[in-house]
Amino acid sequence: MKITPNRNKALLKLEPIAKVSNGGIHIPAVKYVGTEEQDWRIGEVLAIGPLDIDSQGRMIPIEFKERDRVLVTDYHTTLIDAKDVFFVEHKDIVAILEAA
Range of the domain at 32: 9-97
Asked if residue 69 has pLDDT above 60, the reply is: yes
The whole-model pTM stands at 0.70
Q: Per the domain annotation, does 17 fall within a domain?
A: yes
Number of domains forming the structure of the chain? 1
Q: Per the domain annotation, does 2 fall within a domain?
A: no
More confident residue, 72 or 39: 72
Q: What is the predicted pLDDT for the residue at 27?
A: 61
The span from the CA of 25 to the CA of 72, in Å, is 28
**CATH number, domain with residue 33:** 2.30.33.40
Q: Per the domain annotation, does 1 fall within a domain?
A: no
DSSP state of 98: -
Average per-residue pLDDT in the chain?
77
pLDDT, tens digit (0-9, with 9 covering 90-100), for 5-34: 887 889 998 876 556 767 777 665 545 555
The span from the CA of 100 to the CA of 12, in Å, is 22
Q: What is the predicted pLDDT for the residue at 85?
A: 83
